[in-house]
Amino acid sequence: MTGKNRKLGIMGGTFDPVHYGHLVTAEAARLEFDLDQVLFLPSGVPPHKTDKQVTSAEHRYMMTLLATLSNPHFEVSRLEIDREGVSYTIDSLQILREQCGPDCELFFITGADAMFEIIEWRGSDRLLRIAHFIAASRPGFSLSELPPDTRRWVDEHRNRFHLLNVPAMAISSTDIRNRVRMGRSIRYLVPEQVEHYIRRHRLYQ
């Protein structure tokens, strides 16, 4: 993963399950920010979901792997899956920073909703020194939706924050889980291999 002047995208998410919205976002970020590679980083234990039921990390990892296999610019990391305890983003970015080397630029990509809470993330200031932050938003999302103190903080770090409009962000993992539970189709919302995996392992029943 090392290299001079490399740009590495890191796609952080629970991916329960991964869907076309995530894939379109990763590809859009790759093209918009001229990234050499996008590393999908499924959370092991998502910090803000410790009290919620989340599908096993291995299932989420396998679905992410299946979904990304056909894109030579995409890879999936087991970093957070294999690490014990809560998956704080700052811990992962520090490790990836070391692996990638000093000439490598990191871009952490996730949903814009994360911006509402990012101030409270562990080591949030440090996080922005290590990586750029790309917030994937539905069209129409504006920073003015953020509470004033968050907006001020984002403003102070404006050169490290980037908004990326992605129409496919209308697809959501929650909706997909509900559809499966109700016996409705998820065709064209997730890659076929993911759809088969969900069916074979009876996930989200």
Taking Cα atoms as reference points, which of 107, 105, 112 lies closest to residue 136? 112
Distance CA 162, CA 60 (A): 27
Site string (69-98) toward ligand NAP, x via CB under 6 A:
------------------xxxx--------
Binding segment for ligand NAP among 71-79, 94-102, 107-115, 153-161 (CB under 6 A)? 107-115
- How many other CB atoms are found less than 10 A from the CB of residue 69? 12
User: Which H/E stretch holds residue 40?
Assistant: strand 37-42
- The yes or no reply on residue 43 touching ligand NAP (CB under 6 A) is yes
Closest separation in Å from C-beta 194 to ligand NAP: 13
DSSP structure string for 122-165: TTHHHHHHHEEEEEEE-TT--GGGS-HHHHHHHHHTGGGEEEEE
Site string (49-68) toward ligand NAP, x via CB under 6 A:
x-------------------
Residue type, 87: S
Q: Which is nearer to ligand NAP, 100 or 173 (CB)?
A: 173
Q: Which of residues 109-168 bind ligand NAP (CB under 6 A)?
A: 109-111, 113-114, 121-122, 136
Residues that bind ligand NAP (CB under 6 A): 11-14, 21-22, 25, 43, 46-49, 87-90, 109-111, 113-114, 121-122, 136, 172-174
